[in-house]
Amino acid sequence: MAETQQVHNSSNDEEESPEPEMSRSSRRFKASNMSFVEMVNMVDILKRADYDGKYGPYTNPNERKVKIMTKVVKSLRRNFGVRRSKEQLRKRWSDLKLREQDQYRKIKKVVLKSYVQVVVPKSSHFTSDSAQWLIQEIMFCSRDLDLIKEKTKEIVQGLKKMIDVLGRI
C-alpha cells in the first residue's frame, strides 16, 4: 500500500508542470505599480513634449510619439532604475487621463509647481550613491541651462536681424 501511494504521489508531481519559463524580454518589463514620483516624471516629459499633439499639426505624429515615449523609458530607467515598456507607459498614460482623473490632477499640480519630493535620509552622511545622483542631477540641469542659453542667443540674433531689416525699410 505504501508503494502505491509513493507511485501515486510521484505521478501527481509529474502532472503538476512547473510554471513555463518566460522569455527574457517578458521578464525584462515585468509589470509593477508605478510610484507617484515615477508618474510625475512621466507626465512631466509627456506634457512638455506635447505628446497628445494639442499644440499644432505635426508631420509625423506617430514617429514623434515613439521618440517621446523613448525619452520617458530612458528617463525612468536613469532616474529610478525601473525598466518599463513603451506599451505599459502608453496604457498608464491613458488610464491616468481617462480613469484616474483625481490622481492625474494631483500629478499636474506637482508638475506645474515644479515640486519634486526628495527623501533625505535622517543621517547627515552622504553615500556614494546619493552623491552620484546629485552630481547627475546637476549635470542634467546644467545641460538644460546651456540649451536654454543657446536658444536665447538664437532668438536674440533673429530679433536683431529683423530690426536691421525693418530699419532699412
What is the structure's pLDDT at 34?
A: 79
Whether residue 31 contacts residue 88, with contact meaning beta carbons closer than 8 Å, is answered with yes
pLDDT, tens only, 76-102: 888 888 888 888 888 888 888 888 888
Residues 98, 34 share a domain: yes
**Least confident segment among 21-30, 37-46, 99-108, 143-152:** 21-30
Q: Which residues contact 117 (CB under 8 A, 6 or more apart)?
A: 37, 110
Work out the angle at residue 132's Cα, subtended by the Cα atoms of residues 129 and 134, and round it to the nearest 5 degrees: 110
Residue 18 pLDDT more than 50? no
Q: Is residue 49 part of a domain?
A: yes
Burial class (CB in 10 A: 0-12, 13-18, 19+), 76: buried
- Residue that is written with C-alpha cell 542667443 in the block: 153
What is the structure's pLDDT at 32?
A: 65
Residue 17 pLDDT more than 90? no
**Of the residues 98, 117, 136, which one is the last residue of a structural domain?**
117
pLDDT, tens only, 34-55: 788 888 888 888 888 888 888 7
CB atoms within 10 A of CB 93: 19
The DSSP 8-state label assigned to residue 48 in this structure reads H
Q: Is residue 81 part of a domain?
A: yes
* Highest mean predicted confidence (pLDDT) among 71-75, 101-105, 157-161: 157-161
What is the structure's pLDDT at 160?
A: 93
Mean of pLDDT values over 107-131: 65
| Cell numbers linked to 96 | 491616468
What is the structure's pLDDT at 49?
A: 83
- What does the alpha-carbon distance between residue 154 and residue 21 come to, in Å, rounded to a whole number? 55
Residues 142, 94 share a domain: no
pTM higher than 0.75: no
In single-letter form, the type of residue at position 166 comes to: L
The domain in which residue 153 lies consists of 123-169
Residues 75, 101 share a domain: yes
**Of the residues 101, 117, 133, which one is the last residue of a structural domain?**
117
Residue 3 pLDDT more than 90? no
The 8 Å CB, 24+ separation contacts for 67-72 are 71/45, 72/41, 72/42, 72/45, 72/46
Residues 163, 101 share a domain: no
End-to-end CA, the chain: 110
- Residue that is written with C-alpha cell 514620483 in the block: 37
Widest pairwise Cα distance in the chain:
110
